[in-house]
Structure 1
Amino acid sequence: MTRTDEKVGYSPQSKSHGYTRETATDGIEQALRMIEGRWKLVILFHLFGGRVLRFSELERAIPSVSQKMLIQQLRQMEADGIVCRTVYPEVPPKVEYHLTDWGQSLCPALDALLTWAASRPA
């Protein structure tokens, strides 16, 4: 299995933060709320690696999502600082999405979660 961080060229770094059980629980719950949603992880994986996609390209890449839901999920991710939205003043409007540096830093965390899930005993 290829590591996600190798695919996108991100090298994970570990840091010790001195969390308590309560602050760690709160922090994890807050982080999970930011990425919960039917389409957020799919959007993330389409944007990992510095990819910049127009709204229409995301729609085509995720054909089973409705336009309304895609807009909602992208707006939430933008409000959380995970995705950056760039609007170009032209007709028709051109809107592009890419991950912020902070959003890109989710890659090794999701890779670790994937590795953990794959190691589940049979």
Structure 2
Amino acid sequence: MVTAVTSGIQVSVEVTYQAEFSSPHQHHYVFTYKVTIENKSNHTVQLLRRRWEILDAAESKKIVEGDGVVGQQPILEPGESHSYVSGCNLKSGLGKMIGTYEMEKIFDGKHFDVAIPEFQLIANIFHN
């Protein structure tokens, strides 16, 4: 698991290689990742947007942007957390992801970016 804290917002990511859904001989590798966002600040915040950079050893960098996470724009009171699971497909068994969330402080409407820590996508093809 990797973790980063920005402006009191902690983001932790845990990655799992999904061997049963992957086909290495067809250059198809599936990963899931669980993200936990914890509000350790004194302010209520809302996650508005996400921006991911996905690097695959077999391809050039991809940028994925959009509103919220898995169809949600969670509001987090101080001390609350939100977790979700998403996935990524690679053409190689080696890559990494890094990104940011655009957040808003509810009380004053100010927007700020929160770092999503870089994490590795490594297929464990020798033990499955």
TM-score normalised by the chain length of structure 1:
0.25
Higher helix proportion (structure 1 or 2): 1
Higher strand proportion (structure 1 or 2): 2
